Chain A
Amino acid sequence: MGRWLLGPVAAVTEAWGEVRVHRTRVVLSLVGVFLAVFAMTTITAAGNMGRQMMLESSERSGGRAATLQVSAYPNGAVTADGADAAARVLRETAERHRVTWWGLVSQGSGQMTVRFPSGAQLVTFSAVDPSYGTMHRALTDQGRFFTAADGEAFSPRLVVNRAFADQLGGFDEQVPPTVVLGGDRPVTATLVGVMEVPYSDPSMPAAYVLNSAAQAWGLVDPSTSGPPSLELWVPDADAEALTAALQTEVQASLPGYSVSAYRTDFGQDLGVVDAILAYGVRGVGVFALVLGGIGVLNVGLVTVRQRIREIGVRRSFGATGGRVFFAVLLESVAATFVAGVAAVALSVLLVSNFPLEAVLPAGVVLQDVPPFPVSAAVEGLLAATAVGALAGIVPATMAVRAKVIDAIRY
């Protein structure tokens, strides 16, 4: 082993030996550091979950980051042809830009007659494409959201709200309920899922229907519902440029229309949450670590006084001042590092096994549980090690300054 490597290896070996021998004292001195790192990593992980919950909630209404919406409304009276023309231009625009996730949406703008057992009733509905489920993180209470296959079914498929399902005596996934939709051509529709329908009164029946089914079965009257809007889920970096381009292109294709293109998701508003996580949690963590570090320093000082004879004996073995300094310093660093590892491990264990469903309020769901924040774990470990180094400097200096003869005779 080279001499350049031997020194550090021997110093670490010596430091680890000290930690092992004085483990009770070391463990007691590290409680503060342990708790600080544990709190720091766990709060960051919990904060990330909270952020994810807020994000998912916002994505259900405004779409994922970045969701753009383009609407084109005729300046004069709305006609079926005018609405169809707008829908066609919007569809062609999305295809031209080769956006992977896009769809046409008529959000809560139509009404259809539904023949419930208690009698026919006008129900507000939103016409969407199957992509809407992914783009808006559709979360069904029962059943499922639309798939592409639903667009090719021989009868309309519906995703309804709880009030709608209750009118039919509830929803059973094994035996999906059916209901007759009125209009010129009555048709039996099959319910595939139950979920909250935005932009509607939860106490009143409301439903989602696929655009293709609404058109095929004449469920939509474009002259009353107006043309659909186009929604596109695009990379965040492209959002601004694409919004301007869509506005210009669609307006050019539809001269007699009022065209507006804008961003609908709230992803950018989560910056405040990110700032709180970044500075608030770290601030509290640093404060806690400083307190923990004072504990380590205090115990370190007392320990060096108690071990002064031992340090003198080591000097008689040929330990240089530098070696004594680094042994005491490394002892502190090794101990706080181990405390950091233990704290992070416990934090991972807690966060990974936390019964989230039991704690979250009714209706609040976390679909994609964020992974344990590795950055917070690394930061915690580094901070703990740094605290160990800082807290070890004073005792290490004292150890070096001790006179060898006095130390042996102490």
Chain B
Amino acid sequence: MTATLSLQQVSRSVALPDGTTLHILTGVDLEVAAGEHVAVVGRSGSGKSTLLNIVGLLDTPTTGRYLLDGRPVSGLSARRTARLRGETFGFVFQQFNLLPGRTATENVASPLLYASGREFLARKRTARAMLERVGLGGRLDTMPEKLSGGEQQRVALARSLVRRPRVLLADEPTGALDVDTGSAVMDVLEELVRVDGTTLVTITHDLSVAARADRQFRLDHGVLTEITRDALAAATAHRETV
């Protein structure tokens, strides 16, 4: 079966002002099947966000191939890439990135401004239904600054899923939340993607969040390696002991 996401020997490097080259990702191979949940853990600066940006078509690899549903995405025009990004991916950010000055409904409806005619016209109704799904039916017209951190992240979740993306990319989704709230948000997130059959790629520092995924990967100095559940459990136990 064709993988939804397939990265083959992907590397990303940038030229620094002093003339040297910084290698952020090196020879990354990653295959994610439809509906699968994978987590990538790693230290700050290990290249996690760069990997997520490449997967989400926000950035391009320096070398290597990236196939989406078996089709290479390199060579697509900027316009086509933007459309493909909007249709395929949903993003959840650590800092929520809700649009200020807009109600929860308006925030959730905002991706539908770039959708097709029917979705565009029904954007308010769809947004309200999505907010109901994340348990915020009573906060439809509330401004983001009036919501708690957990509620804001749930609005962000609703927004990321409102176009029914096939892949949800979550960059430290619980990073700005306390443990209990983070766990509750992850419950909602996992329930939503399970029901919709959405592929989920989570990037996190939190080993307990990573442990909820089907498969786990570690990114260290730009090199991606899959880790076993046992290794992850040991690492989690070690961290809790410390």
Question: A residues within 8 Å of B by Cβ?
Answer: 1-3, 6, 9-10, 13-14, 17, 21-22, 309-310, 313-323, 404-405, 408
Contact = CB atoms under 8 A, between A and B. Distances in A.
A408 B116 contact: no
B147 to A, nearest CB: 17
Given A315-B82, A408-B93, A17 B114 contact: no
A310 B100 CA distance: 9
B101 A318 contact: no
A405 B58 contact: yes
B114 A316 contact: no
Interface residues of B, number: 31
Given A1-B121, A3-B117, A316-B56, A21 B79 contact: no
Interface in B79-109: 79, 82-87, 89, 91, 93, 97, 99-102, 106
Nearest to A404: B58
Interface SS of chain B = helix
Interface of B: 49, 53, 56, 58-59, 78-79, 82-87, 89, 91, 93, 97, 99-102, 106, 110-111, 113-114, 116-117, 120-121, 163
Nearest to B78: A321
B111 A317 contact: yes
A404 B102 CA distance: 21
Q: Which of A10, A313, A315 has the most CB of B within 10 A?
A: A313
30 contacts: A1-B117, A3-B116, A13-B113, A17-B102, A22-B101, A309-B97, A310-B99, A313-B93, A313-B97, A313-B99, A314-B110, A314-B114, A316-B56, A316-B89, A316-B91, A317-B86, A318-B163, A319-B86, A319-B113, A319-B114, A321-B82, A322-B79, A323-B82, A323-B114, A404-B58, A404-B59, A405-B53, A408-B58, A408-B93, A408-B97
Contact of B111 (A3, A309, A318): A318
A6 B99 contact: no
A340 to B, nearest CB: 24
A22 B79 CA distance: 28
Given A9-B120, A316-B58, A318-B111, 6 more contacts: A2-B117, A6-B116, A316-B89, A317-B114, A405-B53, A405-B59
B79 A320 contact: yes
A297 B170 CA distance: 37
Contacts of B58: 315-316, 404-405, 408
Contact of A318 (B93, B99, B114, B117): B114
A398 to B, nearest CB: 17
Contacts of B116: 3, 6
Contacts of B87: 318
A1 B116 CA distance: 9
Q: Which of A3, A314, A321 has the most CB of B within 10 A?
A: A314
Q: Which of B79, B83, B114 has the most CB of A within 10 A?
A: B114
Nearest to B102: A21
